[in-house]
Amino acid sequence: MELNGLNSNHMKRIKDSIRSIPNFPIENITFRDITTLMQDPEAFKLACDEFHNRYKDKKIDKVVGIDARGFVFGAVLAYSLGVGFIPVRKKGKLPFKTLSEKYSLEYGTAEVEIHEDAISKGERVVIIDDLIATGGTVNAAINLVKKLGGIVVECAFIVELPELGGRNNIQGHDIFSMVQFDGE
């Protein structure tokens, strides 16, 4: 069965492969652990194929992956599309000249960086991470891509937590998620 172009059996298979850990890393957070998806070869392939099929005809020039779990799916997608992979990393990890972007967390702030020569003006980019919660992290990645003159075609995730409203915090960009955990 197809729902929004997604095969519902595949999406169920992917969702069932994700482990939920209550009260990690802090009290009252349920951590959605995608390592169990990655170690399951069938679920991992379904998820990677889903991204590939979605972007294969979108004239993507670069895939941006967000530190760290976005690197896994982003790198596979870049390889399968035959385009370059760009890491957006936590501050202080990239060795060359960088642009950086601060964003708010529930408590305090965080900062991510991109190499200043990673994307050329007008390049079409898809941004990949494992999960969107409040949207703060991907918003910072969007700003970095735009500062370099890149065009954000879409931001894509394995998991969305709709109750945290991330989708609504991203202005003017399309958000795609394979599975959603809503009050579960």
Q: Is 65 in the site for ligand AMP (CB under 6 A)?
A: no
Q: How far is the CB of 121 from ligand AMP (least distance, A)?
A: 27
Retrieve residue 19's tokens.
Answer: 């482990």
Q: Is 101 a catalytic residue?
A: no
- Measure the CA–CA gap between 10 and 127, rounded to whole angstroms: 22
The least distance separating ligand AMP from the CB of residue 134, rounded to whole angstroms, comes to 3
The Cα–Cα gap between 26 and 11 comes to 28
CA dist list (Å): 157 to 74, 97, 140, 181: 10, 28, 15, 12
Q: Indicate the residue type of 115.
A: H
Characterize the bridge pairing of strands 84-90 and 109-115: antiparallel
Q: Please list, in sequence order, all residues whose beta carbon lies within 8 angstroms of the beta carbon of residue 169, skipping any fewer than 6 positions away.
A: 134, 135, 136, 139
Whether residue 50 lies in the annotated active site: no
Site string for ligand AMP, 21-60 (x = CB under 6 A): --------xxxx----------------------------
C-alpha 94/C-alpha 140 separation (Å) is: 16
Site for ligand AMP in 137-156 (CB under 6 A): 137
> With CB under 6 A as the contact rule, which of the stretches 5-13, 48-56, 93-101, 133-141 interacts with ligand AMP?
133-141
Q: Which of 18, 66, 127, 142 binds ligand AMP (CB under 6 A)?
A: 66
Report, in Å, the least distance between residue 73 CB and ligand AMP.
11
Name the catalytic one among 69, 89, 123, 167.
Answer: 69
Query: Could you list the residues that contact ligand AMP (CB under 6 A)?
Result: 29-32, 66, 69, 129-137, 166
